[in-house]
Amino acid sequence: MLFNSYTFIFYFLIPLLGIYLVFTRYIKIDKKIFFIAFSTISIVFYMQWSLEHLVLLLASILFNFLIAKQLSTKFKNLKFLLFSIFINLIPLTYYKYSSIENLVLPLAISFFTFQQIAFLVDVYKDKIKNFTFYEYSFFVLFFPQLIAGPIVHFNDLVGQIKVKQSFLPNISYLSAGMMLFSIGLFSKVVIADNLTLDAYNSWSDVFSYSFMIYFDFSGYASMAIGLALMFGVVLPINFNSPYKSINLIEFWRTWHITLSTFLKEHIYIPLGGNRFGIKKQTFALLITMVIGGIWHGSGVTFLLWGFFHGLGLVVLNITKKYNIFKIVSNRLTNIFKVIFTFLYVSLLWVLFFSVDLHSALGLYKTLFSLDGFKGFNYWLILVACIVWFMPNSTQVIDLKKSDFAMKPYYGYITGLLMFVSLKFMAETPSMKFVYFNF
């Protein structure tokens, strides 16, 4: 079930929310029941996609739980950890990079694999000591974040439930969750889906893709956080206006934040990070970003996409270290920095969406010829204004606060966004989120 579908909203979410509100209001629920209930609900949610892949997911959960128990006791050594990580990467590598035709990629395999690897590392580092199978299953399966993130840590997610004294509905959380869900739904079905093209032949088309993937992913991120909030759980922010970034470092701190954090913690820092000089930092950055590119897909285009992002980060670090091109920071120069960063990121999206390197090079050739400027999608002007001049969803709802200050008119905005989104959904079929492919 897609989050942006009538089936999910009317046959899954609304009944589930109604049952949750009734049960928590009139029946005392302990933590164990909460974990079991949401794990079961999430299994029902996932099985709508594929029973075969559900078996793979459940087998992965059981395997990693047993491995983690051994890792926390008698097999607490680095070799056992590395062996466990290697085993986790086998199905991911097989399904994502196999040359077998018509092999269907299991939904969310990248996300639940990375999340469980992070769990094993946390167990090895003694950040997690006591955990039950119920808690672990909930941690992996919790449906708002199962399909496309955010990638969460066990203590951050399960710890919230452990400290709860009561599961009574929180009106503030419920209202904030509904608003975030409606913002995300609007971003996906009204904006992103109407920027989707069959072919890319000009700068206008490239910018359409750039804005499409922006609103597609921000839409999912807002919907995931909103869904979790409705059930009293706060997920980490995964998207925070990356196109307002003044450089690539800031871009990767605000685009797919939890994946960037995972790559930093588990690849960049173990490779030395910035601790051993510019040469080793350059190597660490390039390797990290290439792995990030390969994580998104097979083929040389994804590898190059990651490499050139890494190269941009390397150049930026060198210029900062040696004060090259140092400019007095002011409003005007920051505007140019934002535009340059956006153009660089947009040009690299060409590698991301092209079917092969030949197609990408052909489009690059077109872009830098007179043919690259043909046509213009005026819808892009409105979309650009939303990106650069409107607050994002996490600025509307500050997730860092323990109680969300919902202004009186927020309810009207939620209703309007939901109504418009449902109207669009009635006229056009639901489209998958881009990150469902990873």
For the annotated catalytic residues, the residue numbers are 296
Cβ atoms 150, 238 nearer than 8 A: yes
**DSSP conformation letters of 170-207:** -HHHHHHHHHHHHHHHHIIIIIGGGG--S---SHHHHH
What's the residue count for the chain?
438
Angle 300-321/278-296 helices, nearest 10 degrees? 150
Beta bridge partners of 239: 255
Cβ atoms 81, 71 nearer than 8 A: yes
Alpha carbons 282 and 267: distance in angstroms, whole number: 13
SS (H, E, C) 159-180: HHHHCCCCCCCCHHHHHHHHHH
Q: How many CA atoms lie within 13 A of 62 on its CB side?
A: 6
CA dist 305 → 197, 257, 349, 357, 437 (Å): 21, 18, 8, 11, 16
Cβ atoms 17, 226 nearer than 8 A: no
Alpha carbons 297 and 60: distance in angstroms, whole number: 21
How buried is residue 106: exposed, middle or buried, by Cβ count under 10 Å (0-12/13-18/19+)? buried
**DSSP conformation letters of 221-255:** HHHHHHHHHHTT-PPPP-B--GGG-SSHHHHHHHB
Residues near 14 by beta carbon (within 8 Å), at least 6 away in sequence: none
Best CA proximity match to 435, nearest among 226, 217, 140: 217
Helix H or strand E encompassing 30 = none
Omega before 150 cis (within 30°)? yes
